[in-house]
Amino acid sequence: MSTRPITGKITTIERHILDEQSAFPDASGTLSGLLYNIALAGKLIASHTTRAGLADILGSTGQTNVQGEEVQKLDAYAQRIMFQLNDHTGRLAVMGSEEVEDPIPIPDKYPTGKYVLVFDPLDGSSNIDYNVSVGTIFGIYKRVTPSGPGTLEDLLQPGRKLVAAGYIVYGSSTMLVYSTGNGVNGFTLDPSIGEFLLSHPNIRLPDKPKYYSANQGYQSRWSEGVQRFTRWLRGEEGATHSLSLRYIGSMIADVHRTLLAGGIFYYPADTRAPNGKLRLIYEANPMSFIIEQAGGYASTGREPVLDVQPTALHQRTPLFVGNRELVEKAEEFIARYG
């Protein structure tokens, strides 16, 4: 083991959350506690994803979720962890999860609080069996109902109202990325000490985009505007440069790469999925909040994602996220050709 003294400044996630809180002298620490708890949930879920093959927890539970998809065992575990770590703290009025059909109430025996937590406990779960990155996405709102148990109304808020959002990606290392509306910071889990350490301060999308990312297997089902836009990204349709392609099929990992390398990720509407596949509340809004906080832009193809007023808990939305000029170009093609 190296005996070299540690010279760089080490910022744990706890310290970072508290530093951010100190900018708000009236803050009660409730949001900080909530964020720290989510980091803890991330560590617990990461400890399972890294041992997935060993612990015989790979594969399906044999059930389907509200989206009609197979529930993987790790989905169920991640759902339980997120719920159990947050149900009793008195910080939340209600929760909403991609894996649960209705609003998730706080059990009667516990107090309710002023925040609302929405999450996708495990995004990209179709990739679990192949050792490909998956992750947990979360968003935090202030409740809009005055007191008592939270309701559907508390969950149906536009992304613009997010107080904080972020994700934990379980990749070659585990990383937590979050924003409270004051820029984006990334933390890497040091497994030897079990702490998230600040590794990516003040993340901004690079000016020069590197990759485009979409499931081109569905290209023939896309609208003319989206097909032409894709050709433009590849240097056709009058483009003066072209981008390289990456598609993992785990939105969390595809957007994470877009955040760090620059480019665009999109999951458009298609003839079989008129609103696309991704869920507005659990996936699109938190990731869009992060991308916009890092200087990028997120659109449905016709309007900013964060301005969409949700009308149903599990509603889907087409999504285009990444460097602003690329996302605006997608809007241009869609406005012109549909």
Residues binding ligand AHG (CB under 6 A): 69, 98, 120, 123-126, 215, 249-251, 267, 277
Decide if 128 contacts 58 (C-beta within 8 A).
yes
Q: Which amino acid is at 77?
A: Y
With CB cut-offs between 5 and 8 Å by kind, which of Mn ion, ligand AHG, none does residue 60 bind? Answer: none
Taking the CB of residue 117, how many other CB atoms lie within 10 A of it? Answer: 25
Collapsing DSSP states into helix, strand and coil, what is residue 9? coil
In the bound state with Mn ion, the residue whose beta carbon lies nearer, of 269 and 334, is 269
With CB cut-offs between 5 and 8 Å by kind, which of ligand AHG, Mn ion, none does residue 33 bind? Answer: none
With CB cut-offs between 5 and 8 Å by kind, which of ligand AHG, Mn ion, none does residue 20 bind? Answer: none
Decide if 336 contacts 328 (C-beta within 8 A).
no
Sign of CA dihedral 98, 279, 70, 135: negative
In the bound state with ligand AHG, the residue whose beta carbon lies nearer, of 183 and 249, is 249
Least distance to ligand AHG from the beta carbon of 306, Å?
A: 19
With CB cut-offs between 5 and 8 Å by kind, which of ligand AHG, Mn ion, none does residue 331 bind? Answer: none
With CB cut-offs between 5 and 8 Å by kind, which of Mn ion, ligand AHG, none does residue 216 bind? Answer: none
In the numeric block, which tokens belong to residue 249?
A: 């099929």
With CB cut-offs between 5 and 8 Å by kind, which of ligand AHG, Mn ion, none does residue 69 bind? Answer: ligand AHG
In the bound state with Mn ion, the residue whose beta carbon lies nearer, of 20 and 283, is 283
With CB cut-offs between 5 and 8 Å by kind, which of Mn ion, ligand AHG, none does residue 250 bind? Answer: ligand AHG
Decide if 78 contacts 97 (C-beta within 8 A).
no
Least distance to ligand AHG from the beta carbon of 224, Å?
A: 20
In the bound state with ligand AHG, the residue whose beta carbon lies nearer, of 48 and 142, is 48
- Residues in contact with Mn ion by CB under 5 A are 98, 120, 122-123, 283
Q: How far apart are the C-alpha atoms of 299 and 74, rounded to whole Å?
A: 30
Detail the DSSP E strand segments found in the chain: 60-64, 70-72, 92-97, 104-105, 115-123, 134-142, 164-170, 174-179, 185-190, 195-200, 211-213, 244-245, 263-267, 297-299, 319-322
In the bound state with Mn ion, the residue whose beta carbon lies nearer, of 19 and 101, is 101
- From the list 157, 161, 158, 174, the residue with the least C-alpha distance to 252 is 174
- From the list 5, 51, 39, the residue with the least C-alpha distance to 194 is 39
Least distance to ligand AHG from the beta carbon of 134, Å?
A: 7
Least distance to ligand AHG from the beta carbon of 104, Å?
A: 17
In the bound state with ligand AHG, the residue whose beta carbon lies nearer, of 155 and 255, is 255
- For ligand AHG, the nearest residue by Cβ is 251
Least distance to Mn ion from the beta carbon of 123, Å?
A: 3
| Residue the block writes with tokens 């993992």 | 248
